[in-house]
Structure 1
């Protein structure tokens, strides 16, 4: 019996994400929460003939508590989307309060759940959740994840296109480390498996496209939204990996996710090589029954990639501190 809860289930990411999670046969109870429309979303996808029972919840009558109680995994796409010209940092003041309050609910009603944060800016919202859980005395760094899978998905797609093999995108695996916005996203194209031969101009173009792929979608939607469908796919894919690992299914494939580097000894080694002071970073991990089982080294990097990592680290420090300071200044915890 596995209960999955989606917070923000009626939004642009939440609806397709809920649809995809309904197709996961490991899930037996799917709880959908939002401030509006979640019962309608639940009624719609409940007609799909897969094992999970679906129910929608709204804020009245303790809806958040009911949605979270007993949850094994909580996926959080709640918040406002980016609009044209808006950076992820512009989202901070709006989404920070939303994520903080959700974290308070998780601490009270689902303290042992795996928590997957999609709400942007992930670089700051993951530290917000962590600080709230710490204040409530229920923080387990092995169970908190920032979902950066979309960066890996984009890298595979874009490299396959550059290699002239767009229909073979599934076979290309490219590590993407760092954070989840702009220059904090670091694709390690030199470690692409299978290997591809790319000149520096192509590497520059691919790196920029992977880092700013979200802007490409915002522009193409012409003010009507952001990367919701691809993000839902990536969120569901990572949730499936977490649930597979929790069920005991071993995987030889590393997942990439933004985590607390103190959660495992390997993370401390990564932090040391990055400069020693950075607490969160998207790294290759092995998932297990309790979440993060092992954090792996970043591997050999080209001089160009080492430069990208330095830029990412410089930005991430401020992003992380911003999230931590927000919770420190919150008076209602």
Structure 2
């Protein structure tokens, strides 16, 4: 059991539904919400739910960030603005990068040993931002920093089960999704689908495209009123729960690993993954076994089809640009 859990939440989406989902966890005893507005009100609302965690909300005034972070075992960062119609994840960069950087500075000062889960888009760039800040402050531990890509895995299960004609059985479908967390950097490995499913090339193309650009589907459907915040909250809570369970002693099974965007130096298996990629890259979403200290093992990607190898090549090229953008942002910042 963890004794503390700090949650860097927004009082908007997806922070609010994520806060609600995390309040239901029996592993959390202390849930702290932080935002520039409304966090105390959201905290008061969900504090009435009769689950174990004590909830508090903080604003920037009077050292709110420090109070939210101090003593944390796990920090989830969904902070930033959501996507709007016609907006790519890269369009979000200049707005969200500064927010994530400032939170990372707070983490380095007040919770350097916490598990840090980054949801804020663009994840391909924001995770390197957090890493570079922590490096500059001398507290970077690659085993404890995660980019949350669980939504890609969740979407893959849903979409593949639908394509297989079994939409009500989506929980049974496991599809590895590696690479990054935007567009062509998302690589679904459909050839490893369990239970085994065969699709013609046209269906496979449609599935890959839908998994890669599922967020656009939601943005369009909401007609300017938001992005994929509710499904992201579900995915974020699911991954946070997996990290907490592993920290409490329930190690992830190698037959059902979690997928997350990490620095490949986090574990020796990352070197093996890197050696088989079509180009050098420092961060990648990989299958991992979680343990009490975070990343316990990075598993190999397994056999890929020629089609998937092509997807991987495109992903690596795009990722390098995304990663460089995050690193450069911190290098040009005054910390």
1:134 & 1:304 partners in 2: Cα distance?
37
Residue of structure 2 equivalent to 1:17: 18
1:194 & 1:275 partners in 2: Cα distance?
28
1:320 & 1:240 partners in 2: Cα distance?
27
Asked if 1:61 is matched to 2:62, the reply is yes
Shift in Å at residue 272 of structure 1? Answer: 1.3
Q: 1:294 and 1:104, CA in 2 relative to 1: closer, same or farther beyond 3 A?
A: same
Residue of structure 1 equivalent to 2:324: 321
Aligned residues of 2:251 and 2:292 also touching (Cα < 8 A): no
In the alignment, structure 1 segments of 5+ residues that lack a partner are none
Shift in Å at residue 102 of structure 1? Answer: 0.3
Residue of structure 1 equivalent to 2:220: 219
Residue of structure 1 equivalent to 2:47: 46
2:3 & 2:80 partners in 1: Cα distance?
25
In the alignment, structure 2 segments of 5+ residues that lack a partner are none
Residue of structure 2 equivalent to 1:257: 260
Greater Cα shift, 248-257 or 310-319: 248-257
Residue of structure 2 equivalent to 1:307: 310
Shift in Å at residue 250 of structure 1? Answer: 2.5
Report Cα offsets for 1:29-84 as digits up to 9, x if no partner.
Answer: 00000000000100110011100000000000000000000000000000001010
Shift in Å at residue 228 of structure 1? Answer: 0.2
Structure-to-structure mapping, 1:232-311, within 5 angstroms: 232-252=233-253, 253-275=256-278, 277-311=280-314
Report Cα offsets for 1:149-168 as digits up to 9, x if no partner.
Answer: 00000000000111111111
How well do the aligned residues superpose, as a CA RMSD in angstroms? Answer: 0.8
Aligned residues of 1:3 and 1:31 also touching (Cα < 8 A): no
Shift in Å at residue 276 of structure 1? Answer: 5.6
Q: Secondary structure at the match of 2:61?
A: coil
Aligned residues of 1:8 and 1:79 also touching (Cα < 8 A): no
Aligned residues of 2:279 and 2:317 also touching (Cα < 8 A): no
2:246 & 2:122 partners in 1: Cα distance?
26
- TM-score w.r.t. length of structure 2: 0.98
Aligned residues of 2:252 and 2:291 also touching (Cα < 8 A): no
Aligned residues of 1:185 and 1:211 also touching (Cα < 8 A): yes
Structure-to-structure mapping, 1:170-189, within 5 angstroms: 170-189=171-190
1:78 & 1:8 partners in 2: Cα distance?
6
Residue of structure 1 equivalent to 2:93: 92
Structure-to-structure mapping, 1:201-220, within 5 angstroms: 201-220=202-221
2:32 & 2:113 partners in 1: Cα distance?
16
2:280 & 2:163 partners in 1: Cα distance?
36
1:115 & 1:196 partners in 2: Cα distance?
35
- TM-score w.r.t. length of structure 1: 0.99
1:212 & 1:3 partners in 2: Cα distance?
36
Moved over 3 A (4+): none
Aligned residues of 2:278 and 2:312 also touching (Cα < 8 A): no
2:10 & 2:28 partners in 1: Cα distance?
16
Greater Cα shift, 245-254 or 222-231: 245-254
Shift in Å at residue 251 of structure 1? Answer: 2.7
2:9 & 2:113 partners in 1: Cα distance?
20
Greater Cα shift, 270-279 or 205-214: 270-279
Aligned residues of 2:251 and 2:289 also touching (Cα < 8 A): no
Asked if 1:114 is matched to 2:111, the reply is no
Aligned residues of 1:6 and 1:77 also touching (Cα < 8 A): no
Aligned residues of 1:123 and 1:179 also touching (Cα < 8 A): yes
Residue of structure 2 equivalent to 1:229: 230
Aligned residues of 2:279 and 2:313 also touching (Cα < 8 A): no
